[in-house]
């Protein structure tokens, strides 16, 4: 199993760079960031600094979308970073949440996600692609290689992830829900004639190591609100009888709106509707042993990477325990079983 860290690009940017360096020092493989250009600083500028000051870690957005940037611009950013620093980027993409909603926009259609995934991947892999009726290719790109991983929750989005993604990003760590969604993506890939085992499966959720679980829940309750935005879209489209696990839809019945100015922030004032049970199911909390146990379960159902959100008040300590105890335990287990 590989490991990632998910950060917001709050100022000062140097803090993000320092946390990326610390993440690499503790053995993490990926450094992901939110991608909402109004709420936080521009991540792609910061990626250049991270790549310049690290040697191994890969960077990418969790997640970008087809609406806020021209697809060729997005591809050019990744190809440029890869040409400069080696192939150390990955593109997470979805329909769009905070990046589009704060400008009174709407999430992209799945058709747009599919098309953007294709255009970005082809261009950033130094290949020609048809875009708006014209064949385009970067004449300067020689060595760039990029995977595009699709973030999804709903049935049609899961189908798209399996059909066009190099990987699948699931932003919650409930083992039962993750197993159901990973299987749905694998089935879609297989039905499309793709190798379902060739996709990378990434589960992303808050990670907080410590003994005061009540405090950890309060620090991570924002995550249930964030996931609730996507679940609300699913319920609006499919109704309460949607073909998704009931545990994913029941908890949003008391949801009463969302303020994106507090998006992803510990102490979020409008996520009281999220019960403790959901936080425990969606996140990784408690002492190191609890993290290891849940990560073993996630690995057993096909999770290739766990990416931990780090929006709380014990960032360095959580990174330290992961680096000294949790990551070695999972990697030792992998070695012992191979």
> pTM higher than 0.85 for the full model?
yes
Q: Is 334 exposed, middle or buried (0-12, 13-18, 19+ CB in 10 A)?
A: exposed
Contacts 24+ apart (CB under 8 A), 163-166: 163/114, 163/188, 163/189, 163/192, 163/194, 164/114, 164/117, 164/118, 165/117, 165/199, 166/121, 166/199, 166/200
Angstrom distance (rounded) from CA 179 to CA 278: 17
Angstrom distance (rounded) from CA 307 to CA 63: 12
Distance of CA 265 to the CA centre of its chain: 16
Please give the structure tokens belonging to residue 25.
């020092």
| pLDDT tens per residue across span 177-216 | 899 999 999 999 999 999 999 999 999 999 999 999 999 9
Secondary structure E strands in the chain: 2-7, 30-33, 58-61, 91-93, 129-131, 134-136, 148-151, 167-170, 200-206, 305-309
| pLDDT tens per residue across span 40-79 | 899 999 999 999 999 999 999 999 999 999 999 999 999 9
The region of weakest confidence among 1-5, 148-152, 172-176, 266-270 is: 266-270
Angstrom distance (rounded) from CA 310 to CA 8: 8
Q: Give yes or no for residue 224 having a pLDDT over 60.
A: yes
Residue 160 neighbours by CB under 8 Å, 6+ apart: 110, 113, 114, 150, 152, 188
Place of tokens 């190191």: 288
Which helix or strand (DSSP H or E) is residue 288 part of?
helix 288-300
Considering only residues 257 and 191, tell me which one the structure prediction assigns the higher pLDDT.
Answer: 191
């Amino acid at each position: 199993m590989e490991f990632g860290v998910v950060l917001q690009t709050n100022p000062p940017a140097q803090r993000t760079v320092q946390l990326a360096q610390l993440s690499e020092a503790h053995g993490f493989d990926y450094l992901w960031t939110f991608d909402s250009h109004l709420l936080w600083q521009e991540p792609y500028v910061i990626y250049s600094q991270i790549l310049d000051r690290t040697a191994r870690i890969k960077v990418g957005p969790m997640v970008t979308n087809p609406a806020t940037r021209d697809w060729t611009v997005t591809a050019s950013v990744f190809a440029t970073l890869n040409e400069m620093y080696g192939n150390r980027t990955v593109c997470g993409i979805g329909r769009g949440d905070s990046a589009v909603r704060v400008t009174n926009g709407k999430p992209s259609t799945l058709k747009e996600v599919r098309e953007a995934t294709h255009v970005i991947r082809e261009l950033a892999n130094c290949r020609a692609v048809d875009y708006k009726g014209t064949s385009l290719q970067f004449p300067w790109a020689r060595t760039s290689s990029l995977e595009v991983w699709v973030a999804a929750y709903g049935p049609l989005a899961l189908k798209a992830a399996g059909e066009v993604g190099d990987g699948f990003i699931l932003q919650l760590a409930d083992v039962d829900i993750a197993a159901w969604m990973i299987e749905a993506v694998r089935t879609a890939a297989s039905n499309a004639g793709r190798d379902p085992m060739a996709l990378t499966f990434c589960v992303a959720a808050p990670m907080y190591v410590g003994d005061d679980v009540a405090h950890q829940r309060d620090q991570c309750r924002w995550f249930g609100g964030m996931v609730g935005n996507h679940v609300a879209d699913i319920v609006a489209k499919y109704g309460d009888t949607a073909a998704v696990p009931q545990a994913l839809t029941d908890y949003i019945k008391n949801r009463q709106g969302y303020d994106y100015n507090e998006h992803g922030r510990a102490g979020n004032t409008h996520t009281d509707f999220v019960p403790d049970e959901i936080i425990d199911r969606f996140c990784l909390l408690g002492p190191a042993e609890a993290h290891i146990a849940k990560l073993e379960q996630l690995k057993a159902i096909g999770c290739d990477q766990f990416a931990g959100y780090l929006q709380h008040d014990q960032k360095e300590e959580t990174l330290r325990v992961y680096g000294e105890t949790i990551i070695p335990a999972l990697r030792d287990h992998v070695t012992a079983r191979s």
